[in-house]
């Protein structure tokens, strides 16, 4: 089992590296998709296939697709100014510092190294999740619908104005 | 476009939906007719031979008249001249011993022929007719047919017979008024 | 696999996202970085949820919430990117200095 | 073996098999390349410009609405599974959720997102039909 | 037409140099471009800014060929100009030459010509219905139409000996007489067709998808039609009752009772309706012609052997399936025409495309071009 | 959590089970695709008063097999200027999820390769992966038709995914589970199919499924009269075959989902479960063929507005009513 997990982790890291390093934004999006798929696999390993399926459906099937649409609408991909190496270096420095600093904290934090607690299966079931959503976290449930409504309206307003702009 | 009323829109929705089912009914009727009544319109060509109409227009050939058991082409080149596709090459002329002229060469390029039938119209001896070929295929650009080929073996015999006929005719002419007659061709246009 | 491994992976992903946000100039590439960071956070939640929490629904709900927010964020962000592109015909972050006084 | 692990194996094996299916004919098939064999197909004419160009924004609005909508309705899955024991409160929550969802459609509809309009007056504009 | 983008539309926004504009070639090798038409579309997004038909991929120089052969030798060419209504073109050419040479045509031949031409017109319209529905995605009606068309082809095959490029007409008559079998077959076909039309109505015309795809699409109004010389069903769909058979009757068309169907909308749906009703009118004409067919010869008693018109020119037009087909014959007194100018309907109809297509969505292009019923060899003659 | 015992668990070695399972799924799908293509050609022929394939094998049954062999031996042409990684990977990305999704279905009581609690969501998730593949194909080909086709295809698929999921949500709400086998079992327990209670959802599902699988009258992406072949214009040989395979398998998969959700899956009298299951699936597939060979194609904008203006609100309304009625009962 742990070999599979390790493999998934490796894939996730490779995908992330592709996503941040590829010049072609479209390829970068597909790199991101690889990471997301691997993460979905890890979510399954972590016991929640439902969240994994959601990750695939929303991120891979939804968000990355929207991004690809955006790329197709915005620009001819290879034609954006390349990053200067100075900038890249600076960014790498910041990222590495962050990585090492927080990494040291994590390693030093002495996280519990026990294996996962065995909980009754129905606690992991989707039905339980649904009950939680309807019960304790119903605010999350409703707030999210409002947030998404606002997002849809915002997206429509912005893109509508753009359309009118091109029209006039 | 007019903005329909609410009921109008709903009604249109349902008529539209219904029209789809009517369409499905039509296709299902045809489906049934094909698989239950076995009434399909396909002709399985290599297995079933086509029935050619009487007027079927194919590449031309020379008629073999029963009286003479040969063609009557005199090599006058009328067809060669009228052919819009220039696919006919005819040659002919005097043959030793008989009065009648004979074609010595009648070649036709099937690849060029547009099957218009003008050559039939102009033939003075009406010795041309449409063949019944329908599955001819050329394998190169030089797809020429020698229309005289089937007559060639009989040509000496024909000349001999023709000589006799002409002699008999001459004798008859000497006795009575000359009688010119051409054998009739079946299915000929007036 | 221990909890630590997941946390470290999440950290790596987060750093990668951070790098992208700082280094890239294409707005969509920056958005990719942001998504990476969000996912790193989700992974963390899921890992702790698995190894520590007693009610696994908590972490899952949080992650679902993050995913939902990410979707909303992407919808708005992409619209803005598109609007910017439409105005300027390019989507490089550095060129967008209109507000710089 | 866990069912989900099996599923992962299916994916991997499918990938491998698919790869074999694609690579095998590459080795077996004839190779004959002419001057125009590798041209991009555009009805027999040399392509003018790259295909990587800008497209209608309408597509994109659909993509955005879809993303938001999909998140919404996927949330309904756990809720639907847990609906049975949730009582009238569950119904109220789902109803509120769906109504808010419908508002989004209503808004988009009112804004004319679903009407794919041409920018200019369509077709002949030479005057009214006399 | 030139390779450079032409500002076909007077709209100021129709700017092919727009930074977001791109060029999409539709045709010459496109699954549903009829023949080898190439449409060079300058588009922004899915919207067509400038549509530019590029023609000439099937050019065979018919007009030039006419100058290099005598009147008779051009006969087989005539039905190859428009192979879908070849009979009408063939007979039309004969009639044009007969007008120039002042040849009388026997009654029976006149009637046979009308029967053959109208059957051919039905066949052509049937083919159009099939291909138009195919263009908007319905495959099955296409085959039903071809099934019906096949009946007509069989009938014509029986009297002319060929199925597509008939060289049936001769100066002064026709090549072959019709027999009773043909007349019976024609009557059977008329009955069959009358029962098939309601079926098309259900399957195609009433179908909501078909209506949605056709209504309001590709509107050609009267002015556009007049400006570009659009004739035939496209013109009648715009509400102009112009039909050469009625307005300048040729042959014996004045003896038949038929109507010129018109619609007012000028869109694809109107063009469909006009064609369907024209099929009905043609059926009427054939019924009358078969009923009234007189006995007699099919060629003049003394057919001319040499066709050598006097110096001069004449114009003759017939109503082909796609519109007015005119022939302007100039004779210099020799056996060979000095000039034969063909006025083909598809050419004029297609020339309106830059105007009609500009501002439409690419999805409608195929439907609009399909609804014109163009035949490329006729345009490229 | 322990998944219920499945077919694979009964074997000695789990790996053997997996390999056998993949072989079974692939074999089933391949035979199905070959048969479906043959059936499609036959059905279209019968509707159009023709005969269809007759020459290869009895009733032309092996015609598609011959076609497949031909495709196998065809040259794979890679046009210049393609985006190589995307172009080459796209067929695989479209193909693989199909195999995984097909393994989730219960063909009979107990006859299920993977009995997962979230089977329904997983089927949709695998369907969602295909969007990415289509984009890769369209973009990678560097062809205007392909790109236009891909844009349309994805826009259409994502739009119709909404009513599709909403329609199946109604069933989930009624049955309280996303496990495909349990949904089926519930229907045979109660003695009626869910289509009886959810006719509107079934119709919505069927229409949306037609659009999801790009079948006529929603075959815009491949509308050959407009876009040549849509996103796979530039693919030849076996690469094209993979797209084709995925397309027909998708038809099969959505029909299987519909069978499970609305037609009671394997349940039925007298005949054994798998027979019932496949009978129902093939009836649905036949229905899609009948529809395909009858109607013309919608225009793209009409298609989209139909989805968002008619289908989705209808599906939401249906879900609301379902929730309300379920509370009352």
pLDDT tens digits, F155-188: 888 888 889 988 888 888 888 888 888 888 888 8
Closest chain D CA to residue C75: D64
The residue behind tokens 């196998």 is: F72
More confident residue, D56 or F285: F285
| Total domains, chain F | 1
Task: Give the pLDDT score at D53.
Answer: 63
| Nearest in space to E72 (alpha carbons), one of E171, E176, E177 | E171
∠ CA C41-C43-C48, rounded to 5°: 100
More confident residue, D114 or A20: A20
- What's the gap in Å between the CA of F66 and the closest CA on chain E? 24
Mean per-residue pLDDT, E191-216 = 86
pLDDT tens digits, D10-30: 778 888 888 887 788 777 777
| CA pair distance F314, A69, nearest whole angstrom | 27
- Please give the full DSSP string across F214-232, using - where no structure is assigned: T-TTS-GGG-HHHHTTGGG
Average pLDDT in chain C: 79
Closest chain D CA to residue F328: D88
The reply to whether F117 falls in a domain is yes
Contact F217, F297 (CB under 8 A): yes
Q: Which chain E residues are within 8 Å of F217, Cβ to Cβ?
A: 137, 209
Q: Which chain E residues are within 8 Å of B84, Cβ to Cβ?
A: 69, 73-77
pLDDT tens digits, F12-27: 666 777 777 778 778 8
Q: Tokens in use for E113?
A: 């010509």
pLDDT tens digits, E80-106: 888 888 899 999 999 888 888 888 889
Task: Give the pLDDT score at F191.
Answer: 78
pLDDT tens digits, E310-330: 888 889 999 988 888 999 989
* Chains contacting chain B through 3 or more C-beta pairs under 8 A: E, F
- What's the gap in Å between the CA of D102 and the closest CA on chain E? 26
Chains F and B contact (Cβ–Cβ under 8 Å for 3 or more pairs) = yes
Q: Beta strand E38-44 with B128-130: parallel, antiparallel or unpaired?
A: unpaired
Q: Which chain D residues are within 8 Å of E25, Cβ to Cβ?
A: 42-43, 45, 47-48
Exposure on the CB side of residue F52, measured as CA atoms within 13 A: 23
Q: Do E266 and D58 touch (CB under 8 A)?
A: no
**DSSP state for residue C96 in the 8-state scheme:** -
| Nearest in space to F240 (alpha carbons), one of B4, E209, D25, B29 | D25
| CA pair distance B38, B34, nearest whole angstrom | 5
- Residue C45, H or E segment: helix C27-51
Task: Give the pLDDT score at C82.
Answer: 75
| Nearest in space to F257 (alpha carbons), one of F159, F131, F127, F128 | F127
Mean per-residue pLDDT, E218-230 = 87
Task: Give the pLDDT score at E371.
Answer: 87
The reply to whether A104 falls in a domain is no
Closest chain F CA to residue A71: F139
A 10 A CB-CB count for B166 gives 15
Task: Give the pLDDT score at B183.
Answer: 53
Chain D residues with CB within 8 Å of chain E CB: 42-45, 47-49, 53-58, 116, 118-130
Task: Give the pLDDT score at D124.
Answer: 34
- What's the gap in Å between the CA of F260 and the closest CA on chain D? 17
The reply to whether F90 falls in a domain is yes
Q: Do A144 and D71 touch (CB under 8 A)?
A: yes
Is pLDDT at F120 greater than 60 in this prediction?
A: yes
Find the range with the poorest average confidence among A27-36, B100-109, E20-29: E20-29
Q: Do D64 and A61 touch (CB under 8 A)?
A: no
pLDDT band, residue F2 (cuts 50/70/90)? very low
- What's the gap in Å between the CA of C44 and the closest CA on chain A? 10
Q: A28 lies in which domain range?
A: 1-76
Q: Do D75 and A141 touch (CB under 8 A)?
A: yes
| CA pair distance C87, A120, nearest whole angstrom | 56
- What's the gap in Å between the CA of D44 and the closest CA on chain F? 12
Find the range with the poorest average confidence among B2-11, C59-68, F221-230: B2-11
Contact E262, E268 (CB under 8 A): no
F294 part of contact set with chain B, CB < 8 Å? yes
Task: Give the pLDDT score at D50.
Answer: 63
Radius of gyration of chain C, Cα coordinates, nearest whole angstrom: 17
Percentage of chain B exceeding pLDDT 70: 88
F310 Cβ contact list (under 8 Å, min separation 6)? B13
Task: Give the pLDDT score at F6.
Answer: 55
Q: F94 lies in which domain range?
A: 78-328
* Chains contacting chain D through 3 or more C-beta pairs under 8 A: A, C, E, F
pLDDT band, residue D48 (cuts 50/70/90)? low
Q: Which chain A residues are within 8 Å of F2, Cβ to Cβ?
A: 121
Q: Which chain F residues are within 8 Å of E44, Cβ to Cβ?
A: none
Q: What angle do helix axes D57-81 and F144-175 make, rounded to 10 degrees?
A: 20
Task: Give the pLDDT score at E2.
Answer: 38
**DSSP state for residue E23 in the 8-state scheme:** E
Q: Do A165 and C25 touch (CB under 8 A)?
A: no
Burial class of residue C89, CB neighbours in 10 A (0-12, 13-18, 19+): exposed
Chain C residues with CB within 8 Å of chain D CB: 64, 67-68, 71-72, 74-75, 78-79, 82
pLDDT tens digits, A63-74: 877 887 777 776
Percentage of chain D exceeding pLDDT 70: 72
Q: Do F294 and B40 touch (CB under 8 A)?
A: no
Mean per-residue pLDDT, F271-276 = 80
Nearest to C75 among D57, D64, D75 (CB): D64
Q: What b/e sequence results for B102-131 when a residue is b if at least 16 CB atoms lie within 10 Å of its CB, and e otherwise?
A: bbeebbbbbeebbbbbbbbbbbebbbbbbb
Q: Tokens in use for E133?
A: 């529905």
Mean per-residue pLDDT, A44-60 = 83
Query: CA C18, C23, C25, C29: dihedral to nearest 10 degrees?
Result: -40
Find the range with the poorest average confidence among B4-13, E128-137, E285-294, F285-294: B4-13
Exposure on the CB side of residue E34, measured as CA atoms within 13 A: 28
The CA-based diameter of chain C, rounded to the nearest angstrom, is: 53
Contact A134, A141 (CB under 8 A): yes
Closest chain A CA to residue F3: A121
Is pLDDT at A167 greater than 50 in this prediction?
A: no
Q: Which chain A residues are within 8 Å of F117, Cβ to Cβ?
A: 49, 125-126
Q: Beta strand E312-320 with E323-331: parallel, antiparallel or unpaired?
A: antiparallel
A97 Cβ contact list (under 8 Å, min separation 6)? none
pLDDT band, residue E6 (cuts 50/70/90)? very low
| CA pair distance C61, F118, nearest whole angstrom | 17
pLDDT tens digits, D58-78: 777 778 888 888 887 778 888
A155 part of contact set with chain D, CB < 8 Å? yes
Q: What b/e sequence results for A107-118 when a residue is b if at least 16 CB atoms lie within 10 Å of its CB, and e otherwise?
A: eeeebeeeebee
Nearest to D55 among A73, A145, A162 (CB): A73
| Nearest in space to F140 (alpha carbons), one of B177, C75, A30 | A30
Q: Do D42 and E25 touch (CB under 8 A)?
A: yes
Domains of chain C in start order, with CATH, are 3-95 (1.10.287.3510)
Mean per-residue pLDDT, E161-182 = 86
Average pLDDT in chain D: 72
F51 part of contact set with chain B, CB < 8 Å? yes
Q: Tokens in use for C18?
A: 């951070």
Q: Do A62 and D72 touch (CB under 8 A)?
A: no
Chains A and B contact (Cβ–Cβ under 8 Å for 3 or more pairs) = no
F22 part of contact set with chain D, CB < 8 Å? yes
A154 part of contact set with chain D, CB < 8 Å? no
3-state secondary structure chain A: CHHHHHHHHHHHHHHHHHHHHCCCHHHHHHHHHHHHHHHHHHHHHCCCHHHHHHHHHHHHHHHHHHHHHHHHHHCCCCCCCCCCHHHHHHHHHHHHHHHHHHHHHHHHCCCCCCCCCCCCHHHHCHHHHHHHHHCCCHHHHHHHHHHHHHHHHHHHHHHHHHHHHHHC
Give the ipTM of the model, two decimals please: 0.81
pLDDT tens digits, E24-79: 888 777 776 777 888 888 877 777 888 888 888 888 888 888 888 888 888 888 88
- What's the gap in Å between the CA of F270 and the closest CA on chain D? 31
Cα B53 from chain centroid?
A: 10
Q: Tokens in use for F248?
A: 């027909």
The reply to whether F23 falls in a domain is no
Q: Do F122 and A53 touch (CB under 8 A)?
A: yes
Percentage of chain D exceeding pLDDT 90: 0
| CA pair distance E305, E303, nearest whole angstrom | 6
Task: Give the pLDDT score at F221.
Answer: 63
| CA pair distance C63, C66, nearest whole angstrom | 5
| Nearest in space to E71 (alpha carbons), one of E298, E314, E331, E300 | E331
D51 Cβ contact list (under 8 Å, min separation 6)? D40, F141, F142, F143, F144, F146, F147
| CA pair distance C31, C33, nearest whole angstrom | 5
Q: Do E224 and D124 touch (CB under 8 A)?
A: yes
Percentage of chain E exceeding pLDDT 90: 10
Task: Give the pLDDT score at A165.
Answer: 53
The residue behind tokens 């819009």 is: B84
| CA pair distance F79, F142, nearest whole angstrom | 9
Task: Give the pLDDT score at D128.
Answer: 33
E138 part of contact set with chain F, CB < 8 Å? yes
| CA pair distance F143, F82, nearest whole angstrom | 8
Task: Give the pLDDT score at B177.
Answer: 63
Average pLDDT in chain F: 81
Mutate to test the interface with F, among D29, D102, D112, D115 (most CBs of F within 10 A): D29
Nearest to C71 among D57, D60, D71 (CB): D71
The reply to whether A163 falls in a domain is no
- Tell me which residues of chain A, numbers 69 to 128, contact chain D at a CB-CB cutoff of 8 Å: 69-70, 72-77, 126-128
Q: What angle do helix axes E140-160 and B6-35 make, rounded to 10 degrees?
A: 50
Is pLDDT at D125 greater than 80 in this prediction?
A: no
Task: Give the pLDDT score at C92.
Answer: 57
| CA pair distance D64, D69, nearest whole angstrom | 9
Is pLDDT at F301 greater than 50 in this prediction?
A: yes
Is pLDDT at A154 greater than 80 in this prediction?
A: yes
Contact A61, C64 (CB under 8 A): no
A 10 A CB-CB count for D71 gives 27
Nearest to E76 among B16, B22, B114 (CB): B114
pLDDT tens digits, F194-248: 888 888 888 899 989 888 887 777 776 666 556 776 777 788 888 888 888 888 8
Task: Give the pLDDT score at F1.
Answer: 40
The reply to whether A126 falls in a domain is no
Chains D and B contact (Cβ–Cβ under 8 Å for 3 or more pairs) = no
A 10 A CB-CB count for F58 gives 7
E300 part of contact set with chain F, CB < 8 Å? no
Closest chain E CA to residue F216: E137
Closest chain D CA to residue C64: D75
Q: Which chain E residues are within 8 Å of B118, Cβ to Cβ?
A: 72-73, 75-76, 167
Q: Tokens in use for D42?
A: 């555009």
| CA pair distance F32, F36, nearest whole angstrom | 6
D123 part of contact set with chain F, CB < 8 Å? no
Q: What b/e sequence results for A131-156 when a residue is b if at least 16 CB atoms lie within 10 Å of its CB, and e otherwise?
A: bbbbeebbebbeebbebbbebbbbbb
Q: Which chain F residues are within 8 Å of E134, Cβ to Cβ?
A: 225
Contact A53, F125 (CB under 8 A): yes
A 10 A CB-CB count for F3 gives 18
Task: Give the pLDDT score at E18.
Answer: 60
- Residue E325, H or E segment: strand E323-331
pLDDT tens digits, F72-93: 888 887 887 778 888 888 888 8
Mean per-residue pLDDT, A96-101 = 83
Q: Do F294 and B42 touch (CB under 8 A)?
A: no
| Total domains, chain A | 1
CATH code of the domain containing A40: 1.20.120.1200
| Nearest in space to F70 (alpha carbons), one of F241, F245, F232, F248 | F241
The reply to whether A146 falls in a domain is no
pLDDT band, residue E3 (cuts 50/70/90)? very low
Is pLDDT at B62 greater than 80 in this prediction?
A: yes
E199 part of contact set with chain F, CB < 8 Å? no
Average pLDDT in chain E: 84
């Amino acid at each position: 089992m742990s070999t599979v997990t390790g493999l998934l982790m490796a894939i996730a890291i490779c995908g992330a590296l592709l996503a941040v390093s590829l010049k072609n934004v479209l390829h970068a999006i597909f790199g991101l998709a690889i990471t997301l798929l691997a993460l979905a696999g890890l979510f399954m390993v972590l016991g929640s296939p439902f969240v994994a399926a959601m990750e695939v459906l929303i991120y891979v099937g939804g968000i990355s697709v929207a991004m690809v649409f955006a790329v197709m609408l915005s620009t001819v991909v290879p034609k954006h100014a390349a990053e200067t190496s100075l900038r890249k270096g600076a960014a790498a420095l910041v990222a590495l510092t962050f990585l090492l600093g927080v990494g040291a904290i994590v390693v030093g934090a002495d996280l519990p190294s026990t294996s996962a607690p065995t909980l009754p299966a129905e606690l992991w079931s989707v039905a339980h999740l649904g009950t939680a959503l309807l019960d304790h976290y119903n605010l999350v449930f409703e707030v999210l619908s409002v947030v998404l409504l606002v997002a849809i309206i915002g997206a429509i307003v912005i893109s509508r104005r753009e359309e009118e702009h091109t029209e006039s | 476009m007019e903005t329909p009323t609410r009921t109008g829109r709903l009604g249109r929705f349902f008529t539209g939906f219904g029209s789809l089912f009517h369409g499905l009914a039509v296709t299902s009727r045809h489906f049934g007719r094909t698989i239950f009544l076995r009434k399909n319109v396909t002709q399985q060509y290599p297995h079933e031979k086509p029935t050619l109409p009487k007027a079927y227009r194919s590449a031309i050939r020379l008629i073999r008249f029963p009286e003479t058991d040969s063609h009557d082409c005199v090599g006058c080149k009328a067809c060669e001249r009228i052919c819009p596709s220039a696919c006919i090459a005819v040659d002919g002329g005097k043959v030793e011993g008989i009065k009648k002229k004979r074609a010595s060469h009648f070649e036709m390029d099937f690849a060029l022929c547009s099957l218009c039938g003008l050559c039939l119209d102009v033939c003075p001896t009406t010795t041309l007719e449409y063949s019944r070929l329908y599955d001819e295929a050329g394998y190169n650009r030089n797809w020429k047919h020698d229309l005289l080929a089937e007559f060639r073996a009989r040509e000496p015999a024909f000349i001999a017979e023709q000589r006799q006929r002409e002699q008999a005719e001459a004798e008859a002419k000497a006795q009575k008024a000359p009688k010119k007659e051409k054998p009739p061709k079946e299915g000929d246009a007036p | 696999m221990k909890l630590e491994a997941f946390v470290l992976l999440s950290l790596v992903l987060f750093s990668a996202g951070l790098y992208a946000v700082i280094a890239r100039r294409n707005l969509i590439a920056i958005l990719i970085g942001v998504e990476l960071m969000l996912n790193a956070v989700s992974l963390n939640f899921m890992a702790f949820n698995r190894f520590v929490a007693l009610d696994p629904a908590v972490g899952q709900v949080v992650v679902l919430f993050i995913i939902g927010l990410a979707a909303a964020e992407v919808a708005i962000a992409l619209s803005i990117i598109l609007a910017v592109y439409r105005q300027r015909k390019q989507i490089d972050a550095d060129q967008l200095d209109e507000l710089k006084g | 073996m866990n069912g989900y692990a099996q599923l992962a194996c299916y994916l991997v094996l499918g990938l491998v098999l698919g790869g074999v299916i694609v690579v095998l004919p590459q080795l077996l098939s004839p190779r004959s390349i002419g001057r125009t064999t590798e041209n991009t197909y555009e009805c027999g004419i040399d392509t003018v410009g790259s295909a990587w160009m800008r497209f209608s924004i309408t597509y994109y609005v659909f993509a955005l609405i879809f993303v938001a909508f999909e998140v919404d309705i996927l949330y309904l899955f756990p809720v639907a599974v847990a609906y049975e024991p949730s009582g009238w409160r569950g119904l109220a929550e789902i109803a509120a959720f769906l109504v808010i969802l419908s508002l989004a459609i209503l808004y988009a509809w009112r804004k004319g997102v679903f009407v794919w309009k041409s920018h200019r007056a369509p077709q002949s504009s030479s005057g009214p039909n006399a | 037409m030139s390779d450079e983008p032409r500002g076909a539309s007077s709209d100021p926004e129709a700017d092919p140099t727009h930074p977001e504009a791109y060029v999409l070639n539709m045709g010459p090798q496109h699954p549903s471009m009829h023949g080898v038409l190439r449409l060079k579309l300058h588009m922004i997004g899915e919207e067509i800014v400038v549509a530019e038909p590029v023609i000439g991929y099937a050019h065979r120089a018919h007009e030039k060929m006419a100058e290099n052969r005598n009147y008779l030798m051009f006969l087989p060419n005539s039905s190859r100009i428009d192979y879908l209504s070849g009979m009408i073109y063939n007979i039309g050419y004969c009639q044009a030459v007969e007008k120039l040479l002042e040849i009388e045509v026997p009654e029976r031949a006149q009637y046979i010509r009308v029967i053959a031409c109208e059957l051919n017109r039905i066949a052509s319209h049937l083919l159009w219905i099939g291909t138009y529905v195919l263009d908007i995605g319905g495959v099955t009606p296409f085959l039903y139409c071809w099934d019906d068309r096949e009946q007509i082809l069989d009938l014509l095959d029986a009297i002319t000996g060929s199925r597509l490029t008939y060289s049936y007409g001769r100066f002064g008559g026709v090549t072959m007489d019709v027999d009773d079998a043909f007349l019976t077959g024609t009557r059977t076909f008329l009955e069959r067709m009358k029962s098939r039309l309601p079926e098309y109505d259900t399957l195609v015309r009433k179908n909501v998808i078909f209506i949605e795809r056709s209504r309001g699409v590709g509107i050609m109004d009267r002015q556009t039609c007049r400006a570009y010389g659009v004739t035939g069903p496209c013109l009648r769909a715009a509400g102009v009752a112009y039909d050469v058979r009625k307005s300048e009757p040729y042959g014996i068309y004045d003896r038949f009772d038929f109507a010129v169907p018109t619609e007012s909308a000028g869109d694809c749906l109107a063009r469909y309706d006009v064609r369907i009703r024209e099929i009905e009118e043609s059926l009427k004409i054939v019924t009358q012609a078969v009923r009234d067919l007189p006995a007699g010869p099919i060629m003049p008693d003394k057919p001319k052997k040499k066709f050598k018109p006097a110096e001069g020119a004449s114009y003759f037009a017939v109503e082909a399936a796609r519109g007015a087909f005119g022939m302007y014959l100039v004779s210099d007194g020799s056996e060979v025409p000095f000039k034969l100018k063909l006025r083909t309907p598809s050419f004029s109809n297609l020339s309106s495309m830059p105007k009609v297509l500009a501002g439409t969505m690419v999805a409608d292009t195929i439907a609009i071009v399909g609804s014109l019923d163009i035949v490329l060899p006729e345009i490229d003659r | 959590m322990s998944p219920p015992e499945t077919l694979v668990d009964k074997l000695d070695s789990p790996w053997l089970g997996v390999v056998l399972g993949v072989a079974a799924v692939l074999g089933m799908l391949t035979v199905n695709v070959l048969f479906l293509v043959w059936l499609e050609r036959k059905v279209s022929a019968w509707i159009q008063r023709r005969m269809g394939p007759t020459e290869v094998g009895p009733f032309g049954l092996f015609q598609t097999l011959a076609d497949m062999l031909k495709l196998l031996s065809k040259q794979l042409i890679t046009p210049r200027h393609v985006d190589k990684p995307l172009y080459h990977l796209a067929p695989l990305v479209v193909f693989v999820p199909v195999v995984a999704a097909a393994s989730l279905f219960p063909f009979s009581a107990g006859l299920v390769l993977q009995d997962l609690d979230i089977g329904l969501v997983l089927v949709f998730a695998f369907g969602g992966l295909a969007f990415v593949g289509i984009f890769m194909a369209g973009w990678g080909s560097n062809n205007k038709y392909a790109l236009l086709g891909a844009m349309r295809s994805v826009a259409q698929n994502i739009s119709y995914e909404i009513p599709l999921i909403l329609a199946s949500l109604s069933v989930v709400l009624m049955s309280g589970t996303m496990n495909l086998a349990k949904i089926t079992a519930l229907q045979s327990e109660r003695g009626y199919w869910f289509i009886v209670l959810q006719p509107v959802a079934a119709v919505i599902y069927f229409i949306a499924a037609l659009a999801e699988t790009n079948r006529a009258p929603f075959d815009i992406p491949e509308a050959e009269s407009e876009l040549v072949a849509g996103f796979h214009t530039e693919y030849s040989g076996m690469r094209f075959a993979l797209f084709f395979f995925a397309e027909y398998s998708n038809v099969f998969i959505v029909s299987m989902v519909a069978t499970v959700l609305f037609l009671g899956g394997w349940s039925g009298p007298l005949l054994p479960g798998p027979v019932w299951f496949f009978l129902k699936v093939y009836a649905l597939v036949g229905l899609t063929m009948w529809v395909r060979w009858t109607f013309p194609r919608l225009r793209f904008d009409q298609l989209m507005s139909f989805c968002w203006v008619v289908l989705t609100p209808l599906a939401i309304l249906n879900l609301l009513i379902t929730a309300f009625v379920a509370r009352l009962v």
